[in-house]
Amino acid sequence: MAACILLAAAIADQRTREIPLVLNGALSVLGILRIWSGGVPADEAVIGAFCVSLPLELLLRVSRGRAIGGGDVKLTAVGGLLVGWRLCVLAFWIGGLLAVLLNVPHLGKARAGHMVAFGPYLAAGFLAVFLWGREILLFLTDKF
C-alpha cells in the first residue's frame, strides 16, 4: 500500500512540483497503523518523523522554497514515521544520491531557475529502504 502511495506522490511531484496533502496524510495513517501493530517502535517512529524533516523545514524557510519544497518536508516526516529514524536517514541519503547521479549529466543543459522535483527521488529512497533497508544498514555498519 505504501509503495502505491509513494508512486502516486512521485508522479504528482514530477508533473506538478507538488505532493498532494492527501497522499502524505494516507502515509501518516499507515505509519500510525505500523506503530500500533509493532512494526516500528513508537520512539523510533517519532524521531524518524523529525530527524530529516526538521532540517529540511529550516532549509525551506531559509531558502524561501528555492532549495526544497514543503511536500518534500512532509514526505520525509511521514516516511520517518513509517520506517523509523535510521531508515529515514538512509532513505534521504539514497534519494539525494539518486537525484545527484541522475541530474548531473543534465546540469549543462538546464535553464536558469530550473527546479528538480525531489519527491520522486525521496519516494525511490523510501521504497529502497522498505525492500532492502535492513540489509543496506547491516552492510554499511559492517564496513564502517
The CA distance from 97 to 133, in Å, is 15
Q: What is the pLDDT of residues 61-115, one digit of tens each?
A: 999 988 899 999 999 999 999 999 999 999 999 999 999 999 877 666 656 566 7
79 alpha-carbon distance from chain centroid: 6
Do residues 31 and 59 lie in contact, with contact meaning Cβ atoms separated by under 8 Å? no
